[in-house]
Structure 1
Amino acid sequence: MSIIELATCVASGDATGVHRVLENATDVKALLEGKVGLKGATLLHMAASHGYPDVVAELLEFGADPNALDGDRLAPLGYVPEGHEKAEETREALVSRGAVDDAAYFTHSQPASNTEQQASYISKSFLRSVFVVFLLPFIVLLVWNGPWFCFCFVTTTTLFYFIAVGFFVTEITLRPPWYHATPGAKELGMVKLPEEWRDKVHDPKVNFKIDFENVEFQTTHGAYTLRGWYVPGKKDVAKPPKTSIVFLHGGGRDRRTWLRHLPMFHKRGYNCLLFDFREHGCSDGAMRGLTFGMKERYDALAACRFMKHVKKHDRVALVGTSVGGSTAIMAAALDAKLVDLVVSENPMLTCAHLQREHIANVLGGYFRHTKWGNFVFALFQRCCSSWLNLRVGNKPSKSCQAFHSVSKIGPRPLLLMHGTYDSTIPFEHSKKLFELAKAPKELWIAPGGCHVGLYDAFPEEFERRMFHFLGKYDAYAV
């Protein structure tokens, strides 16, 4: 029995399935101590995070460590979701088998006092004090200049800052902290590279001794020059695939996102193109940030056009992750002749939808105590979404993001992949896209998988699903 089979039962809350797998397993300890996801969490962490007391009880019954730590030194108790209907039952199941809810148990330091613990939270009384402090100047204005002046001043100032803060939130969305734009650079940057790339950050020749060709081609809607690597497939393959691959990286990254995946495609004979979107890597740009697929979809189509018209490949599959995953869906819907298959890892429904979710995660707890607070917060989210749509060129009437486009891909094949531990784009996005898509379609929800980390967490399963899909539809004709 594999850890993937057990993880699938855990993620779905199937306590009976968990019992069956563990009962028939030859090495129960290895399964229970096995890590799922990049954070180093165990299956007990996963069960606790979903609020499955029955599954937690089964895992503990077979000897799971109730105080096992993940990479961030969090025990399963720290994973139990607040407010979940079965949160208390899950906690009781853990505590009854020895789980300790005390950071000092793990750090061997003295526990913090109540005062110190309370200081790490922003209380309602503190927020009320801040509100009163901000209100005092307006009271002075009211007394000094009269109610009409005070009303006009307060309304104008509030509206200005409301819109201004929405603009700056959108600025962070378009240029996230990991976005280091160097349009037109001669070499790819080496600053703050993601951990999952490890040391695969140079080029196919240096990292894997695979020959490649530096290429460039023009995109539309901006007339930028895009640059990348064309990597011919291995020549001595018994049955070379008919489909070639165009890889699409995520927002703020570059072509090296897919470099560590390249050997498994190369050895099977796939001709591959890894390139940088506009405003990324060595491709041209105007320092405007990423556009969540609105402009990048034209870059993806330009890459497909290069593969079909310049390199003379008959079929092209778009394989993208994160923003690249959404872009693959959007590009395929835009031109059915250039794109034959789509593989999309952790895509988003729309950029505005994702932005609203992140704003809610960061700020929602401070506002959602009253109906008035909910109203103001919803208005602020709408303001940010309007700014974002305006700046990326997405008019609601266009209906061209992944949420609107995925139904237009069929009857071309679509594979969606997502991890349940994705904190950047929740896996519910892929589930919804799968519901909207037309057949033929496939969905892989990987228990414990993180953002753009499915290959790193489950290399064998990733490889099996990827090439089963590509092989199944290699000669698929629409």
Structure 2
Amino acid sequence: MTQNQKRNHQPRRFRILVKLCYGAVIVFTLFLFAVAFGIWSASNQILFPKWNGLSKNFLECSFDGEKAWGRSCGNIRLTNEYRFKEIWIPSLNGYDLPGWLVPAYENGGLMSKGVILLVHGGGSDRRELTRLIPFYLNQGFDVLSFDLSCHGEAPCVVPGLSFGNRESRDVLSAYLYLSKKYKNILMFGSSVGASSLLIALPFLHGVKGLILENPMINFDRLILDSPESVSLPNWMVQSLIGLVTSRGKFDSLLSPENSLRFSSSVPLLLIHSKKDSVVSYKHSEFLANLYSGPSEVWFPDLGSHGKVWDENPSEYETRVRNFIRRNINK
């Protein structure tokens, strides 16, 4: 190679190197964009979960919605199955929450033994638990179901789920509302509803018992234990947790795990399917072991998230009925 050829070859090598660097920067930028977009999309799904075929419009009901929540998607305004009252519960969050009160004595019961509060899961509304109303009416209880903040027909000041943070104040508000009228109060919660009950537990002194389906230890553990997180690097999962709590304006310090340490008087019945792929039954197992008060657990082999009763109606009702009888007349 001559001297001139060597001089021409060096700039060519430099240009190739520059192109490679530019290419690497572009690839890295696209990678960061893809990661950021993926984390943002995942945070949307976590903060704003949607039930398949269901909307917040109570007049709408799809085939899938009816399959999940029953006739007319659990809207008792349309089914005319029960005599009920439309009520509004003043919330500590600063607004009123809509609900349905179904009195036992107006629906075939001889008298009311008390009331049970039904607290729905995240992303749904009071219609989700309509299927449980007949069972509790038959036990002699009035039934109150209501919409948590940002669910169903309830107001929404801070959009998105807070996984029990703001929702627990709604639960406490409902308890204060009921405690003025009832001596015997039971509460049922599913998923975020169950977690909200546990967060509010230190203030629920007069409650006779909590029936809890698939609660979580805390928000961080919910995300860390999810099947989707297993294949992701820890920094990405932690970034997702930080983004969700920042956008949702809550933290995971207010949690069932932390609240359980401040209460020991209210009996708990924890129900959690071993087939639950959203929240592992290990969460309920951990919470039951942590609680120093009276507690019972049932971990059936069948039932997806929030669907234990659907798969095990007879055993489910027997266990809940026995729990009520053991605690309501104390």
What is the TM-score normalised by the length of structure 1? 0.59
Gaps of 5+ in 2: 1-13
**In the TM superposition, what are the counterparts of 1:297-336 in structure 2 within 5 Å?**
297-309=168-180, 312-333=181-202, 335-336=203-204
The reply to whether residue 231 of structure 1 matches residue 85 of structure 2 is no
Over the residues paired in the alignment, what is the CA RMSD in angstroms?
A: 3.0
> 1:253 corresponds to which residue?
124
Gaps of 5+ in 1: 1-139, 368-376
Are 1:332 and 1:339, in contact at CA under 8 Å, matched by a contact in 2? Answer: no
Q: Which amino acid aligns with 2:83?
A: D
Q: Which amino acid aligns with 1:245?
A: I
The reply to whether residue 168 of structure 1 matches residue 31 of structure 2 is no
2:317 corresponds to which of 463, 468, 475: 463
Are 2:73 and 2:127, in contact at CA under 8 Å, matched by a contact in 1? Answer: yes
> 1:374 corresponds to which residue?
none
SS state at 2:73 partner = coil
**Structure-2 change in CA distance of 1:464 and 1:142 (3 Å):** farther
> 2:255 corresponds to which residue?
401
**Structure-2 change in CA distance of 1:194 and 1:453 (3 Å):** farther
Are 2:121 and 2:191, in contact at CA under 8 Å, matched by a contact in 1? Answer: yes
Q: Which amino acid aligns with 1:444?
A: W
Aligned equivalents of 2:242, 2:260: Cα separation in 1: 23
**Structure-2 change in CA distance of 1:292 and 1:431 (3 Å):** same
Are 2:172 and 2:204, in contact at CA under 8 Å, matched by a contact in 1? Answer: no
**Structure-2 change in CA distance of 1:205 and 1:379 (3 Å):** closer
> 2:150 corresponds to which residue?
279
1:230 Cα shift? 0.6
The reply to whether residue 383 of structure 1 matches residue 239 of structure 2 is yes
Q: Which amino acid aligns with 1:144?
A: V
Aligned equivalents of 1:195, 1:409: Cα separation in 2: 38
Are 1:181 and 1:287, in contact at CA under 8 Å, matched by a contact in 2? Answer: no
> 1:89 corresponds to which residue?
none
**In the TM superposition, what are the counterparts of 1:122-271 in structure 2 within 5 Å?**
143-144=17-18, 162-178=35-51, 182=56, 187=58, 189-191=60-62, 192-193=64-65, 195-199=67-71, 201-204=73-76, 207=79, 209-221=81-93, 223-234=94-105, 240-241=112-113, 243-271=114-142
The number of residues matched between the two structures is: 314
Are 2:208 and 2:327, in contact at CA under 8 Å, matched by a contact in 1? Answer: no
Aligned equivalents of 2:19, 2:109: Cα separation in 1: 84
**Structure-2 change in CA distance of 1:233 and 1:364 (3 Å):** same
Aligned equivalents of 2:16, 2:98: Cα separation in 1: 61
What is the TM-score normalised by the length of structure 2? 0.83
SS state at 2:272 partner = strand
1:351 corresponds to which of 205, 219, 234: 219
Identity of aligned residues (%): 25
The reply to whether residue 439 of structure 1 matches residue 265 of structure 2 is no
**Structure-2 change in CA distance of 1:142 and 1:320 (3 Å):** farther
The structure with more strand, counted as a fraction of residues = 2
- Map Cα deviations across residues 74-96 of structure 1 (whole Å, 9 max, x no partner): xxxxxxxxxxxxxxxxxxxxxxx
